[in-house]
Amino acid sequence: MRTALMGTLGFVPTMGFLHEGHLDLVRRAVGENDQAGVSIFVNPTQFGKNEDFAAYPRNLENDLALLEKAGVGFVFAPSVEVMYPTGFQTYVEVMGVSQGLEGASRPGHFRGVATVVAKLFNLVRPSRAYFGQKDAQQVAVIRRMVSDLAMPVTIIIVPTVREPDGLAKSSRNVYLAPTERAAAPVLYQALSAARRRYEEGERHPDALRTVMGAVLATEPRAEVVYLSAADAETLSELSTPTERPILLTLAVRIGRTRLIDNLTLETAGG
């Protein structure tokens, strides 16, 4: 119905405090659709009890100015009461791909993500929804949910936008004190070192994990939460060499800030 009347609608779900990473998704949504919309909602159900929900950075006024300039047609910035009114009791839980990595480190996180994204899709009814590769496991979870529940939306993935020194752009980067900010590129350095080894022919996941661990160990401020070399499709941790695409992921604490990053390794032409 809407397609006939209004053409395609591109949608970018965010938690706000927008940066160039978000804006890349937004530009794609604006450029590839007849209309584009963005949601800004810091979703309480995807934060653990001791996580940074209350402290999460917010700046709605600045976000709205950036989105207007980017040519977005509408912004949906609901209150918690609108998304989770009294009596709310339905959750979406994706099983397998939610369970390792971020899912293991942040219990309940992906249940919150899947639930809010499903509700946003129902409210906004986009033709295409845009997500960042920065959150690689989130991508896998959303793809699974959309496929398993036959949601009528096409998922588009956008590459990670980085600072010139390699640090993946993130709203949480504002938490970093100057000395911590100087240490933060170590995540991308670790991923890049493993990629170089892969390009030299290394295919054993143990060796790739060792390379990443060795680079991270050179930075005393970096405390590894997890470090993974997994099958890029199933996200199951690898124990033997493979020619299938490999997803390297890292979660590292620098001071009190928890950063994540990832790279996919695949053979040329793969």
Q: Annotated catalytic sites, by residue?
A: 22
Rounded CA-CA distance 235/173 in Å is 26
| 169 sits near ligand AMP (criterion: CB under 6 A) | yes
| Min separation Cβ 217 and ligand AMP, Å | 25
Q: Would you say 39 and 18 are in contact if contact means Cβ atoms under 8 Å apart?
A: no
How far is residue 113's CA from residue 111's CA, in Å, rounded to a whole number? Answer: 5
Q: Give backbone dihedrals phi and psi of 186, rounded to 5 degrees, phi first.
A: -60, -25
Is 243 exposed, middle or buried, given 0-12, 13-18 or 19+ CB atoms closer than 10 A? exposed
Contacts of 130 (CB under 8 A, 6+ apart): 10, 11, 12, 25, 26, 28, 29, 156, 157, 158
Q: Kindly tell me which residue out of 15, 72, 145, 252 binds ligand AMP, with binding defined by CB under 6 A.
A: 15
Residue nearest to ligand AMP according to CB distances in the complex: 132
Structure tokens at 46: 């995807």
For ligand AMP, the binding residue among 168, 183, 194, 216 (CB under 6 A) is 168
Among 98, 137, 160, 228, contact with ligand AMP (rule: CB under 6 A): 160
Strands 35-40 and 9-14: parallel
Find the shortest distance in angstroms from Cβ 241 to ligand AMP.
Answer: 29
Nearest to 232 by CA among 139, 94, 102: 139
Min separation Cβ 220 and ligand AMP, Å: 25
With contacts defined by CB under 6 A, name the span among 16-24, 116-124, 206-214, 233-241 that binds ligand AMP. 16-24
Instruction: Indicate whether 250 belongs to the interface with ligand AMP (CB under 6 A).
Output: no
CB of 64 to ligand AMP, least distance (A): 15
Amino acid at 27: R
Instruction: Give me the residue label for tokens 């997500």.
Output: 131
Our CB check for ligand AMP shows the closer of 156 and 207 to be 156
Binding track over 102-131 against ligand AMP, x by CB under 6 A: -----------------------------x
Applying the rule CB under 6 A, the residues between 128 and 147 that interact with ligand AMP are: 131-132, 134-135
* Closer to ligand AMP by Cβ: residue 15 or 101: 15
Interface residues toward ligand AMP, by CB under 6 A: 14-15, 21-22, 24-25, 131-132, 134-135, 158, 160-161, 168-171
